[in-house]
Amino acid sequence: MFDKNAYKIIFTGPVGSGKSTAINSISDMAVISTEQIATDHVKNRKETTTVALDYGMIKLGEGENIHLYGTPGQERFNFMWEILVNNAIGIVILVDNANKDPLSDLSFFLKAFEKFIHTNAIAVGITRTDLSGGPSLPDYRRILKDFGLNPPLFEIDGRKKDEVSMLIQALLFSLDQSFHEDETTE
């Protein structure tokens, strides 16, 4: 069980989807980052990449905090994914709409975190929609439906605190809803 005063949310998604940016935009503390110079194919997209995690925190008041952990986007660092989801209450999947095949990216991360997703809250944010004409939110919704999911789904700009906040609030609301549904079935 988790400490109700220390909630943990994971941000995951492919390289360049905005995980580090989103955590930086909303954190109430200086973000701890494990960014390193990209030496593989990632260097064609960006100079640095997360190799272990990003960590930030939102202070809610009265001793309550939300701890934010960002996963590396590269599959070769997937050993960190399992470590980071331990004791988390939910996961935010960010997908870069300007990527070559963002629907496949979403499917990949839904499969990679499938066990966690089916017992915890999830929200999905689609980034960089201003740089690409598609896919559309209904296209993403179809992928989610194929996985038996109907989570909060938003187009967001990870640089904008209010948009990242909305995504986290939607995740927390869906967690609250599932908690109340569990209470009524007992």
Decide if 52 is inside a domain. Answer: yes
Which pLDDT does position 51 carry in this prediction? 55
175 domain residue, yes or no: yes
> What CATH number is attached to the domain comprising 139?
3.40.50.300
> Can you tell me the distance from the alpha carbon of 51 to that of 80, in angstroms, rounded to the nearest whole number?
9
- pLDDT at res. 84: 82
pLDDT value of position 40: 57
Whether 1 is covered by a domain: the verdict is: no
Distance CA 103, CA 95 (A): 8
* Residue 166 CA, distance from chain mean position: 13
For the chain (186 residues), the mean pLDDT of every run of 10, in chain order, is: 67 91 94 67 56 83 88 72 87 95 96 92 94 89 96 96 96 72 50
pTM: 0.84
Give the number of domains in the chain: 1
Domain range for 82: 6-185
pLDDT at position 47: 59
- The pLDDT, as a whole number, for residue 184 is 47
- Say if 45 falls within a structural domain: yes
Confidence at residue 144, expressed as pLDDT on a 0 to 100 scale:
97
The distance between the two most distant Cα atoms of the chain, rounded to a whole number of Å, is 52
Q: What is the pLDDT of residue 41?
A: 54
- Other Cβ atoms closer than 10 A to 172: 18
Q: Report the pLDDT value the prediction gives residue 180, as an integer from 0 to 100.
A: 44
Tell me which long-range contacts 96-99 makes (C-beta under 8 A, separation of at least 24). Answer: 96/13, 96/14, 96/16, 96/17, 96/18, 96/127, 96/128, 97/126, 97/127, 97/128, 97/129, 97/131, 97/132, 97/134, 97/135, 97/155, 98/128, 98/131, 98/132, 99/14, 99/16, 99/17
pLDDT score, position 94:
97
